[in-house]
Structures are given as structure tokens and as C-alpha cells.
Amino acid sequence: APDYCLCHEAVADALVDACVARLKASFGDDPRQSPDFGRIVAPTDVDRLAALLKGQPVVCGGAFDRDARYFAPTNVKTTDLE
């Protein structure tokens, strides 16, 4: 699975909207309940992913449950590539 997508700023909002729509079409309004959405291997990996999101502009998703090893499909919109 890709972990990032680059696009021209003129189409960024449309791309984000399309990504959010595709996630909902694939996993429903609550991906946690979807039988098609997998889980993270270990709770420590959930911690690692959560730390990566701190301070990031999350446009959808971002929810997680360490004990259930769940991390929602998440989109972040940023212009900082560092």
C-alpha cells in the first residue's frame, strides 16, 4: 500500500475528497467494524504510528485503539516533505 501521494496543490482538495470517499466505499463509515480491514501486528506498532501523527494535519481517520491493535485508515494533508 502506498504511504504517500504527491499532487499539484490545485487538485489537492479534490484528491483528499476522493481518497476519503474511496475509504468509506471500501470500509464503511466505521472501518473498525469492517471484516475487510486488518489490524496492526503489535501494540507497539500502534504506538509508533500514533507518534507519527502527532502535530500532523489529519483530514480523516487518525483514531486508534492500542489494545485492539486498530488504527483507522488515515489521511494527512501537508506540504512539508521533511
In tens, the pLDDT along 39-54 reads: 999 999 999 999 999 9
Which pTM value belongs to this model? 0.81
pLDDT reported for residue 2: 64
3-46: pLDDT as tens digits: 888 899 999 999 999 999 999 999 999 999 999 899 999 999 99
Q: How far apart are CA 25 and CA 9, in angstroms?
A: 25
β-strands 64-65, 58-60: how paired? unpaired
User: Please, is 41 exposed, middle or buried when counting C-beta atoms within 10 Å of its C-beta (0-12, 13-18, 19+)?
Assistant: exposed
3-class state of residue 20 by DSSP: helix
C-alpha cell at 44: 507497539
